[in-house]
Structures are given as C-alpha cells and as structure tokens.
Structure 1
Amino acid sequence: MEVRAYIESGILELYVFGTLSESETAEVAEMAGKNPEVQEEIISIEKAVISLSYSMAPYLSAANYDRIREKLIEKHGKVVEMKPKSNVALFIGWAAAVVLMIGIGWQYTQLDSAKNQIATVETENDTLQKELIQTKLTQTQTESMLAVVRDQNNTVVPLGGQAVSPESKAKVYWNQGTQTVYVDASGLPQPPEGFVYQVWALKLNPLTPTSIGLLDDFKGNDSRLFAVNNAIEAEAFGITLEPAGGSISPTLEQLYTLGKV
C-alpha cells in the first residue's frame, strides 16, 4: 500500500485514539519509524485532538467562580474552604523515623561495645587465671625447695670463686638422708650464649670428678636454685662453665667455684 493511501485509510486516527489491536499498533509504529510522512501525520492528528479537547472544555473565569460560590452559600449557608493537608504530620513521622533509626543504631553500637567488653574481660580473666595457676605452681616449687634448703639435716657446702671468676660464689645443700642435692647459683654470672654451668662431685685422692647435673635454663630460673643428682661419697663440689649440653670431664680452665665438704 502506498504511503498516501495508508495515511488516508483512517488507521492513523485509530492509532492515536488507542483503539487498534496490539499487532496493528505495532504495525503503525513500525510504519511511522520507516516513513517520516506517516510520523508527521500522527503528530498532526495528536495536535488536532489536543486543540479539540481545549475548545470543548468549559472556561471558568474568576467572575463565574464567584457567582457559583454565592449560589452555594445561599443554598447551603456556607462553603467550607478546603485547605491543603498540613505537612506537620508528615514531618513528625519522618522525624520519628529518624529518631528511631538513631536509637536502633545507638543500641547496636552499645550492644557491640558490650560484646567487646565482655570478650576483653573474658580474655583478661583467662590470662589472670593462667597467671594465678603459674604463680601457685611457682610458689609451691619455691616452698618445696626452701623446705629442703632449710632442713637442719643438710650439709651446707660454700663454694668460693676461682681464678677465672674470683667474685663468683655458690652453695651446695646436700641432704645425705634423703639423698637430695640443691645448688644455690645466685652468686654466678649469667652464662654466655651457647654455654652452661655443670656441677661436679669430687673425690680428692685421687682426683675423681663426677657430673651430677647441669644448671639449665639459668636465665629463666629467678630463684637460681637448682636440683641436681645425688652425690655419693663426695669430698668436694665444683662448678665449671661448659659448652651447651655439658662435657664428659670438667674444663679446669673454666672452673668458676670450688668448695670442700
């Protein structure tokens, strides 16, 4: 069909008024997209319809409005002025919503803060509990060692400093009844890295040294009181500085302390 015949068929008017089927509407839209003449005709029809609508609508002037208002007052006594709805209620509603959101946020923050505080307190309690247990263990060990040291049955052997370290000193507490030996090494300097103090029980004639233990973890032992092996028939005690792990025989050049029973 030619464009002019298509325009004059009346289908464009039906299209503007929206009375066509979906397929027919789609067909007209497609035709308008391809042919500017059809598109212009549709616009022209739409303008004509709008102009017709304005011409058919009654015009209400201010004078007409006043006359109608007076008639209504004569008939009904008064005319109720319709005021626009106040925005106060809407504002209050929005304000309440904002306050509610702030309150919820504050409560969430407080809850989160409380959870963090509880977690911190629990961690601190756990740390304090561990420290308390460690303190009790240390106290028990200290009391046990002090009981041994203060035992009247102990043989106390003072060990004096030797040529390599004249200022050094130590004490051996030897309980021959219980066969326990403790060394008070508080008078010895901190051993160098990679070295350890080794305790020897000595028989003097002939000189026969026997290792009775190492003073391990010297830095970690605050009391500097060490339990070592029993000394059988010892006539003297000596402490030497040896490589970590100890030596089979004492390094006499590194003899720090020595004392006879």
Structure 2
Amino acid sequence: MEDIKAYIESGILELYVLGDVSAEEKLQVEDMAAKYPAVKAEIAEIEKSMELYAEANAVEPSEHLRNRVLSSLVVNLGDDNNFSKAVTHDDDDNITRLPVTRINSFYKYAFAACLALLLVSIYGLVNLYSKLQDSNTQLTALQQDKQRFANQVNLMDSQLDMYRDTTYKVLRLKGMPKAPTAAMILAWNAVSKKVMVDMQSIKLPKHDTQHQYQLWALVKGKPVDMGVFNAPATDTAGVKEMKSIASADGFAVTLEPMGGSINPTMDQMVVIGTF
C-alpha cells in the first residue's frame, strides 16, 4: 500500500498547484488524486489557500496610474465634442440641412476602459507572480531543510543503534605520549565484522592537508589496515564505517601521509585501545 501521508507531505502537491512539475509528475499527481480522496482533498485545500493568499495580497493600482487613465478619458471626450462642432453647416435657404449624425463614441470609451483595466490587471498579475515565485522559493528551501533534518535523524538513529546492539563491542581508545589528551570511541561487531567509528567522539590533534589518520586493527600483535579518516571530520556523518574484520584484540590510530601507509608509523601513534 502506498504511504499516502508521506506522499502528501513530500511537497509535490504544492508544486503541482503552482505548475512547477514535469509532465510525468503531473500525470502521477492526477492519478493519485483519482485513486485517493485524501490526495484530491489536499489539492483542493492548497488551491483554496493560494486563492486566499492572492486576495489577501492584492495590489491596488497606484494613484498616479488612476489619474493617467481618467485624464485620457477626459481628453478623448473633448476630442469628440470638437469633432461634432467642426462638421456643422451654415444656414442656407436654398439647401435643406440634414441633421448632423453624432459620432457614437461608445466603442471608443469602451476600448479606453478595457485598456485601463488590462494595464491594472497586468500590474496586479506581475506582483502576484513575483509573490508566488517568492513563496515557491521558500517552499523549496523548507523542503531542503526537511530533507537535511531527516538525514540527520537517520544518522543519529544509526549511531544509537550501534550502542544499543549487544553484538557490538564498544572500545574507548586513549591517548599516547605523543597526544595524551587524544581520545575516540569505536564499535566492532564480531558477527557482521563491521567497525564503526563515532566521529562525534573524536578528540585528535588537527592534521595538515598532507596527512590523514589511519585506523589499525591489532590481530595477534600484528597491525591490519582498517582505512583512513580526517580529524576533525570533513563530512556531517555521525558514524563512519571502516573496513571489516573478523577478529581483533584491539585498535590503534596513527598519523600517516595522505591515503595511508602499508605499515603503521609507530612514533606517530596517537591513540590505542584493547579488549
């Protein structure tokens, strides 16, 4: 069954009402609306909200524009009166005067009124379009914030699962003489063979761009490469999955050249911990 609530909250319906969707997405929304009354009702509610927003933010024509339109109508009326006077004839006893046909100015006035209304409507539509664009931008920003928040929640859930899962062994690595205040926490799962580093717990000296920290598993006294990482972390992940290993007696971290080394540099060891 489709998750209707998640679909409604995804933001696609707002973009559909604004006309900011592809043809394929438009068909998908209309298909969902035909299937599910809740989707159709939500679209109607969004359209109603848009209409109320447009009415609440309607822009009255400026006083300057209103005066220009009225002045234009007055000038046109004056031109009609002058034209009527110009077509009159002098009296002549031998000629029967025909009545002067008054120029019907109804269409002229109607055209002027329609033009004025068109100008005002265009002005209002431009303002409404600008506000709708601003609303669309804000909606997009909110959707991006929502996605970032969801990603952070997922990362936090993963981190909590690591500590809740009893198959993980949590190990605290302590500082060596080179960095006595250094410390970090990792978890190793003997069943899945996963090794997860808690990036939020890392307290290691900051390194330059030519070096990285390298994690080593201690297996019967021999170091095994588990991958490299940066400190402080260059990403926002709460935990970082390292290379997998089936068995380990402990773990250690050394400072190595960028990309890591085949063997650890012992005098650059910063933290170590054993089970």
The alignment's TM-score, normalised by the length of structure 1, stands at: 0.55
**8 Å CA contact 1:198, 1:213 repeated in 2:** yes
The answer for the alignment partner of 1:30 in structure 2 is: none
1:126 CA drift (Å): 2.5
The answer for the alignment partner of 2:258 in structure 1 is: 244
**8 Å CA contact 2:213, 2:255 repeated in 1:** yes
In the TM superposition, structure 1's runs of 4+ consecutive aligned residues that sit over 6 Å from their partners are none
- Structure 2 residue corresponding to 1:198, chosen from 192, 214, 217: 214
Between the aligned residues of both structures, percent identity stands at 25
1:141 CA drift (Å): 3.2
The answer for the alignment partner of 1:113 in structure 2 is: 127
Alignment of 1:45-194 (within 5 A): 97=112, 104-185=118-199, 186=201, 187-194=203-210
The answer for the alignment partner of 2:81 in structure 1 is: none
Point out the structure with max Rg over C-alpha: 1
- Structure 1 residue corresponding to 2:234, chosen from 193, 198, 219: 219
Q: Secondary structure at the match of 1:157?
A: strand
Amino acid at match of 2:217: A
| Structure 1 residue ranges without an equivalent (≥5) | 1-89
Distance (Å, rounded) in 2 between the aligned partners of 1:253 and 1:221: 30
1:180 CA drift (Å): 1.7
Q: Secondary structure at the match of 2:144?
A: helix
How many residues are paired up?
178
Distance (Å, rounded) in 2 between the aligned partners of 1:133 and 1:220: 16
Distance (Å, rounded) in 2 between the aligned partners of 1:119 and 1:254: 56
Distance (Å, rounded) in 2 between the aligned partners of 1:171 and 1:152: 16
The alignment's TM-score, normalised by the length of structure 2, stands at: 0.53
**8 Å CA contact 1:162, 1:258 repeated in 2:** yes
**8 Å CA contact 1:199, 1:213 repeated in 2:** yes
Shift in alpha-carbon separation, 1:161–1:145, aligned structure 2, 3 A? same
**8 Å CA contact 1:158, 1:171 repeated in 2:** yes
**8 Å CA contact 1:204, 1:236 repeated in 2:** no
Amino acid at match of 1:209: P
Deviations 1:60-98 (A, max 9, x none): xxxxxxxxxxxxxxxxxxxxxxxxxxxxxx9xx99x95x
The answer for the alignment partner of 2:60 in structure 1 is: none
Distance (Å, rounded) in 2 between the aligned partners of 1:252 and 1:110: 73
